[in-house]
Amino acid sequence: MTSEVKKFDTLLVANRGEIACRVMRTARAMGLRTVAVYSDADANARHVREADEAVRLGPAAARESYLKVEAVIEAARRTGAGAIHPGYGFLSENGPFVEALEKAGITFVGPPASAIAAMGDKSAAKARMSHAGVPLVPGYHGDDQDDALLKSEADKIGYPVLLKASAGGGGKGMRVVESAAGFQAALDGCRRESQAAFGDQRMLIEKYLTQPRHVEVQVFCDSHGNGVYLFERDCSVQRRHQKVLEEAPAPGMSAELRREMGEAAVRAAREIGYVGAGTVEFLLDADGSFFFMEMNTRLQVEHPVTEMITGQDLVEWQLRVAMGERLPLAQDELTITGHSFEARLYAEDPEQDFLPATGRLDRFALDLVGAGLDPAKVRLDSGVESGDVVSMHYDPMLAKLIVHGDDRDQALATLNRALAALDVQGVVTNRAFLQRLATHPAFKGCELDTRFIEKNEATLFATQEITTEAYAAAALIGLKQLARECESDSPWDRHDGFRLNAPHTIRLALCATGQNLTNAQAPDAEGVVIVEGTRETDADPWHLTIGDTTLTARLQHLEGDAVAVTLDGHRRRLQARLGENGVVVMADPSGETRLFWRRIDAIDHGQHEAESTLTAPMHGTVVALLVEPGQKVEKGMPLMVMEAMKMEHTMSAPADGHVASFHFAAGDTVGQGDVLLEFAPEE
């Protein structure tokens, strides 16, 4: 293997969000000028603000901006960038892009196109790994993609099986198929996702291990023939095959198993002539056997935990290798110090099946000093700041919270304190869910496998214990908001409970799940608490009736989001922030309660509306209509498929009946709350 020196002084980062900011941070430290690229949706994004220069690529859609090879190369030419770092996603594993850069005389900070091609085709990669002596999971990786043949191969392997897009990764185009009956529907869904994400519908099938851990090895190779592994990461805690919590090193790893997996990973990299940073992913079974899953020919999202335990800057390694330098350290010079966790902060709602969320980030901050945390032990990699807008066009990950400790227990304690100190407002996130994961006894006890969230669903999503103070704070804020919205000089125009010579009364339904409020007036409405607020004048306290309890209540706004709730003379300070039809109450640094409200002191048509229409739970695009208007359907039957933030979401029948009409066609863009279809329940 030969090498040439490729010095450059300007680096273009062909990505967005936190990874673009993270790469530019190291580039600046190395004295390089940085160039950002952006779409119309990202014109004011943080990565654009932080770069020395920035070039517009095109409209918001990734295929018209970040995925436009010619536009990215032209941006490099215009700015004099001698190298391009792809980050992850988008063009990071695009062989033709690398070839185009070679022709243009621009250095690609990553592996050669041949290595990307070798691992990009998952089926061909399996054959190469077998040749290199890397263990493989039983499966089908052939070129024949006939539906009947794929079904036959799945039957031979034995269910459950895992369907995977041959051309991609990251959970796109992937389904677990539990039985033969569900194979065809899963295959169709995988192909749609794969085509949308990778422009390729080919599938491979693998035996689905029931209790595997996802353990991956960080490898690094240079153009001088040197290769090392920087130990392993455990990424078993996932939802929809996408990682949520990662840690390094992997718990319970013996020195022998670490060496075996590391050496297998380096063999895999050498087999394809790899150069740069790469990750070889394995499934680790309970008996210590491990199987090759795939190789990501790029920097991984979770690379910071490896940096924390090794003390190395992997982006700096990437840039130096791209310049033709040798690896900074040999294998025997690399050591593990302490333990590290990474928690991925997503704009999504775990309580609503992890639906992506959009909106304006009113506040995004991490108060390390106030939480008593050591800045050297906590790192927040983000691509957003307060005031930024989270759009529907890209992946919902906002940031990564990374911590380090002397051991796993210490690192986990730091993670929990840091999560509690992370203040995110304006957009629904998984922050509270991450805390439930990190404090779960099974996670603390290292009872890890890739179905961790599914197995512990009952406790991770247990019914929330909501305090009277939380209900009172939410009700008082709701009452004040309604009164503000209904202000009028004329009593005849008011709808806030005004009565001539009578107390002012408003009734609210409060619930932790907004969907349940459609039937709020039903006596057995699940999780719904009815609050009645009465007062004589605006200056008087409210008399709140919460269930069977009546309290005298006042609300006082303090600084920021702090409020004081006084109930029967007992004053308590809380954090509470107003959201769309709801409020988030923080009773203490680790306890978050999100309550939705609905006014029910007027005629309520909620149940009729819920039965006759189906609304979009998020902004997105209609992918497919699965039934015909007038077709009889059963409750729970899939009706249509939406796609948002690169993931598919299926809308199902709310009851037995039929679809009277669809309001949108495949390919249409819809907004959150838009009526998707008219549904006629069976009488």
CB atoms within 10 A of CB 15: 25
Length of the chain: 683
* DSSP secondary structure letters along 528-543: -EEEEEEESSTTSPEE
User: Catalytic residue at 298?
Assistant: yes
Asked whether the bond before 541 is cis by omega within 30 degrees of 0, the reply is no
Q: How many CB atoms lie within 10 A of CB 193?
A: 24
Cα gap 584→365, rounded to integer Å: 17
Cβ contact 533:479 at 8 Å: yes
HSE toward the beta carbon, residue 392, CA cutoff 13 A: 14
CB of 121 within 8 A of CB of 167?
Answer: yes
The helix (run of H) or strand (run of E) holding residue 469 is: helix 468-485
Angle between helices 314-322 and 303-310 (to 10 degrees): 100
Tokens at residue 585, please? 């109450």
Q: Which backbone phi and psi does 333 adopt, to 5 degrees?
A: -95, -5
What is the residue-wise DSSP string for 602-630? S---HHHHHHHEEE-SSSEEEEEE-S-TT
Catalytic residue among 33, 298, 507, 598: 298
- Compute the distance between CA of residue 516 and CA of residue 511 in angstroms, rounded to an integer: 7
End-to-end CA distance of the chain: 74
* Three-class DSSP category at 412: helix
Tokens of 47: 């990565």
Instruction: Determine the Cα–Cα distance for residues 428 and 50; give it in Å rounded to an integer.
Output: 26
Q: Which residues are paired to 219 by β-bridges?
A: 229, 278
Distance CA 406, CA 412 (A): 10
Known catalytic residues are 298
